[in-house]
């Protein structure tokens, strides 16, 4: 049995473990699906970006939160951070192959939400009226 087939079988046998309280993949799930994680990953699908470009493109994110998000995604192997040794410092972020796979799936979800937002807004308004 080759290594990739063995790895695939191991991965498939572990599906569903994310429901377990002690599943280590929950941290990765949290990084990817966090408010800023989703937006950063989808933004990086477009191309490589510098930190300042990402900060401007992802409205509302603070420098601290963007830095934490990028560090977490890089730590999970989804984002590649390249620091160029120049003055002033120049750091670029891009997706790894793993990150591209995740971001492609997230982009579908983001598009679905935006396309269905009028229906979602109606449901939110109806729930707010019932609560009042």
| Residues spanned by the domain of 81 | 24-131
Contact, 39 vs 17, CB < 8 A?
no
9 located within any domain: no
Domain CATH for 90? 1.10.10.10
Backbone φ and ψ of 102, nearest 5°: -65, -45
Q: How many separate domains does the chain show? A: 1
Q: What is the pLDDT of residue 4?
A: 64
Mean pLDDT confidence for 23-32 = 90
> What is the average pLDDT value for the chain, to the nearest integer?
90
What pTM value is reported for the model?
0.82
Nearest to 82 by CA among 51, 110, 111: 51
Q: What is the pLDDT of residue 3?
A: 64
Reported as a single tens digit per residue, the pLDDT across 35-47 is: 999 999 999 999 9
65 located within any domain: yes
d(Cα 42, Cα 95) in Å, to the nearest integer? 10
71 located within any domain: yes
Reported as a single tens digit per residue, the pLDDT across 53-81 is: 999 999 999 999 999 999 999 999 999 99
């Amino acid at each position: 049995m080759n290594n990739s087939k063995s790895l695939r079988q191991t991965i498939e046998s572990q599906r569903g473990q994310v429901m377990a309280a002690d599943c280590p993949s929950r941290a990765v799930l949290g990084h990817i699906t966090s408010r800023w994680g989703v937006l950063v990953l989808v933004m990086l699908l477009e191309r490589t970006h510098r930190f300042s470009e990402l900060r401007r493109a992802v409205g509302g994110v603070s420098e601290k939160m963007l830095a934490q998000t990028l560090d977490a995604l890089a730590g999970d192997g989804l984002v590649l951070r390249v620091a160029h040794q120049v003055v002033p410092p120049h750091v670029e972020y891009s997706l790894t192959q793993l990150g591209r796979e995740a971001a492609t799936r997230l982009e579908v979800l983001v598009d679905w939400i935006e396309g269905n937002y009028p229906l979602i807004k109606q449901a939110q308004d109806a729930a707010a009226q019932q609560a009042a």
